[in-house]
Chain A
Amino acid sequence: MASTTVLSPVKSNSTLLNALGVLPGVLLLAAIGYTGKFLEHFLNTYAKTHHWTFPNIEYVLWAILIGLVIANTVGVPKVFQAGVATYEFWLKLGIVLLGARFVLADIQKLGGISLALVVIEITLSLLLMTVLGNLFKLKPKLISLLAIGSAVCGVSAIIAAKGAIDADDEDSSFAIAAILALGALALFTFPVIAHSLHMNDVSYGLWAGLGVDNTAEATAAGALYSDAAGKVAVVAKTARNAMIGFVVLAYAIYWAGQGQAATVSNKAAFLWKKFPKFILGFLLVSLLVSFHTFSKGQVGSLGNLSKWAFLLTFAGVGLCTNIREMSKHGLRPFIVGAIGEILIACLTLGLVIGADRIWGL
């Protein structure tokens, strides 16, 4: 998956070749993203001019839909694939730059609430997925992967855990397919449910960050509701991502105890290795903004650069969602994933509504 994509370090001619290799795909991401932005603007203007009542369909949804249609009809030609796979890079770049739109006090408040909810969410999700997996008699390591994927952060967590618990490729692709398919479903259902419940931006953003597993999809689900909700979703999801090392370490120790995975001798090094470093970048940019390193106009520019990076990400989410591939992985893991995700979505919704009552989000 894209989360394992590593951009080659600056060395020799291969760097130039790599850069040229990703260019067509990146241009495709940009073209799809920009078309989404154009369609949103065009349809709104057209509807207003002709006095039509037309729902505002955000560029996020257009970009994802166009990508989905391409990926599931003509497919993504090979020449574009390397560039399309960079969407996870644009996501992380967008998140780091998004730090400019938060001062540390915001992060302290939102991050504190998010962390409290994340701990509850992770505990309940791990328990729930383990019980469901055992009920449906899935393979033990597949249960671990599904539990980690749904509790922490989707694809990245599954990939991190796969190595740590020595799971096989088939199990991890099952788990990834289930998490991605359900994340894609959440993109379309979460905003509808939230609108029907008249949720405010902060509550919805927290829900999207806690309930949608893959970071790209959680970011998109938040942005689909509103710009403010998108920002909160990123903070909540980032707080969840920060826990990846602890959860994977716990599973690695468990499976090593069973004699079915490698022993982890240096736990601090293991935690650092698994920690998503882009979170530190996000905090650093936010710190710089909090100390007034940038003027108001410059903060606006950084925020807009972040939006452009997300635009490429959303196009990539659609282009990397291959429904045919997902359906090849069999029904049982998907059913367990679906039941688990629906229950987790209800549970996190309850948590957020509860937090709103207690803290007044």
Chain B
Amino acid sequence: MSTTIKPVNQKAWFLILPVLVCVAFSAILPLMTVVNYSVQDIISPERRVFVGTEWFAAIMRDEELHGALLRQLTFSFSVLMVELPLGILLALAMPAQGWKSSAVLVIVSLSLLIPWNVVGTIWQIFGRTDIGLMGAALQGLGIEYSYTGNATHAWLTVLLMDVWHWTPLVGLLGYAGLRSIPDAYYQAASIDGASKLAVFWYVQLPKMRGVLMIAVLLRFMDSFMIYTEPFVLTGGGPGNSTTFLSQFLTLKAVGQFDVGPAAAFSLIYFLIILLLSFILYNWMQRVGTQEKGGAHG
């Protein structure tokens, strides 16, 4: 949220009431159900035993969970490290106006519009060395590429697929943010004799802060919950090298047909994302409103 001083007006609650109704209806009721399940052992629809925090404790001790969590954290971190700079570069490179800007906008957005299972399916074929363009090309370059057999290759392929799929999200947000900068800022910077790098660092990047924060949080959360694409592409393999947290949850829930632990895990899952997002959010807010002038003097 912006940091300038705003007038206090409690009547503003009326303006957000519609939003609260929509979201609460969709969120609170189901959430309460989940909480309900997470503290019960549902042996059958008739027999439910209250078990308190037993499921939570069991999950925290689970070694496999630790592994999945670590893989997930590494994945999300890599996603942010690649997609953020790449998205910003993309936003800067996209034309500002004319027919070219429209064409580039459409081309760049295509990957976002493909249903996620289709994304996984396309990359499945795309990565095969016998019938896929990328696979064949890599093999042609002499690389023993196999996303089904080699864990590193699988990892990199999943990452590449995610970068291909989601970088445009960062790009589009950044692009819209850039278009919102009034000309006068560029004119003033030109008059002040600023280099292109200085214009980026002191004008463009600060003015994109709002949209970039949204981009970071969105990409972090969505990558932390990623399920369909890696599942379709690698099925979590080879072994469990690309089994991330979401798939792990599903395996536990579906595999063991146990709603109780699954619900408990869901809550923990949610809390982890909440905690990390909260940290990210506050860190970014603070970076934006430091008391001292920026360290890039």
| A and B form one complex | no
